[in-house]
Amino acid sequence: MMPHNSYISNSSLTVPLQYISSQGEPLTELGGKNELPDFVNDKALLLQAYRWMSLTRAFDQKAVALQRTGIIGTYPSSLGQEAISVACGMALEKDDVFVPYYRDHGSQLVRGHLIEHLLLYWGGDERGSAFGPASDMPICVPIATQASHAVGIASALKIQQKRQAVLCTLGDGASSKGDFLEALNLAGSWHLPVVFVINNNQWAISVPRHIQSGAPTLAQKASAAAIPNLQVDGNDFIAMYEVLTEALQRARQRKGPMVIEAISYRLSDHTTADDASRYREQDEVDKAWKNEPIKRLQNYIFQRGFWDKNAEGCLQDDCQTQIEKSVMAYQRIEAEQPEAMFDHMYQSWPDVMDDQVVECGEKYKRNFLTPEYQYSGLK
């Protein structure tokens, strides 16, 4: 699908690109100038987006509950940022490369990750990153380092003369890090097929956006690398999807990198280990709820006659059923044997360190004595 607007070259955009109001009304009906893109008539596409966003939110709620009951570990909710995440997932082609950070559950679901595998990762099991699209990177925890990997991957695609694009996500905090700025510099210098999305949810744990940078926008950091950039209302799926589709298409056509700052709000704590009430006012959060992305898209599809209460009820039931099934599937996956920690350190574990594998088995027997225990051997 080719977008009808070219915001990439539209330097006159002074406010974040937005198509529908927080009540789901087209801004054109409220005196706005930007005509809605054609794909808003694609009922199937909008419903698909709405379903993924709803599933993402339901999964988030469940994951937080699972952490509270000790079934998974610390978990970073993406509450309020579902439009960004799902738009990223949907705008990517299957063979594009996604380089996510740790708040990208929505994109991961759209990209084909199973819920049980997401739970596996957050449940402390490496196998959670063993699945998903073959070329996608696992989620990245060390802040902004994924930006360097994204330029490396984009560079490889260019050298290999492939026509895919790379999409890299990061938070507002990550935009302060040297890795991101170096990555922008390299992406601009080498004209790489990579798109960066800054999920500006206003908070990096307890540090608000205004402390993060003196720059009026985070997007403009790309200007120093001569990379086109713009701000988008990250709670407006239609705007996010349009800009992402165009930016990725541009990258595939070898027209260079782009930076998108998606303005949103972290409605949750940073992670389940955080208590945001220590550092931000509830008033601010209450106000932000009025702009949240799911209700907005829901209002729009209701107004368009694409959706009704009955469909909504069915969707919520479907999400719950799917999640419950996945949680059960996750809980059936047994932990790996202790010696599995050696299996993937190198292609083959150096035989000069074999004694450590033996020691691991002995340690296990000593601490978790089970007479029938026997390791099946290194691969």
Partner 1 sequence: MNDERLKNVNLVEAINMALNYSMSHDDSIVMLGEDIGKNGGVFRATDGLQDKFGCARIMDTPLAETSIAGAAVGMAVAGLKPIAEIQFMGFIYATLEHIICHAARMRNRTRGRLTCPMVLRAPYGGGIHAPEHHSESTEALFAHIPGLRVIIPSSPARAYGLLLAAIENPDPVIFLEPKRLYRSEVHEVNDNGQPLPLDRCFTLREGEELTLISWGACIKECLAVVDQMNAESGSHDRIELIDLASIKPIDFATISDSIKKTGRCVIVHEAAKTCGVGAEIAAYIAEHLMAYCKSPVKRVTGFDTVMPYFRNEQHYLISELDIKAAINTSLNASF
Q: Which residue ranges make up the site for partner 1 (CB under 8 A)?
A: 97, 99, 126-127, 129-132, 134-135, 137-138, 141-142, 145, 147-160, 178-179, 182-183, 185-186, 189, 341, 343-347, 350-353
User: Minimum distance from CB of 235 to partner 1 (Å)?
Assistant: 30
Instruction: Return the bridge partners of 140, or none.
Output: 101
Contact 302, 24 (CB under 8 A): yes
Contact 328, 66 (CB under 8 A): no
Burial of residue 116 (CB within 10 Å: 0-12, 13-18, 19+) is buried
Q: Output the CA torsion sign for 84, 91, 260, 295.
A: negative
User: Is the Cβ of residue 139 or residue 276 nearer to partner 1 in the bound state?
Assistant: 139
Burial of residue 110 (CB within 10 Å: 0-12, 13-18, 19+) is buried
Helix, coil or strand: residue 293 = helix
Q: Output the CA torsion sign for 346, 133, 320, 273.
A: positive
User: Is the Cβ of residue 125 or residue 269 nearer to partner 1 in the bound state?
Assistant: 125
User: Is the Cβ of residue 27 or residue 97 nearer to partner 1 in the bound state?
Assistant: 97
User: Minimum distance from CB of 155 to partner 1 (Å)?
Assistant: 6
CB atoms closer than 10 angstroms to residue 337? 15
User: Is the Cβ of residue 127 or residue 209 nearer to partner 1 in the bound state?
Assistant: 127
User: CA separation (Å) from 316 to 54, 58, 233, 267?
Assistant: 8, 8, 26, 20
Contact 3, 232 (CB under 8 A): no
User: Minimum distance from CB of 336 to partner 1 (Å)?
Assistant: 9
Beta-strand relationship, 203-204 and 207-208: antiparallel
User: Is the Cβ of residue 127 or residue 255 nearer to partner 1 in the bound state?
Assistant: 127
Q: Which two tokens stand for residue 115?
A: 């819920």
User: Is the Cβ of residue 66 or residue 154 nearer to partner 1 in the bound state?
Assistant: 154
Burial of residue 305 (CB within 10 Å: 0-12, 13-18, 19+) is exposed
User: Is the Cβ of residue 142 or residue 208 nearer to partner 1 in the bound state?
Assistant: 142
Contact 157, 193 (CB under 8 A): yes
User: Is the Cβ of residue 72 or residue 186 nearer to partner 1 in the bound state?
Assistant: 186
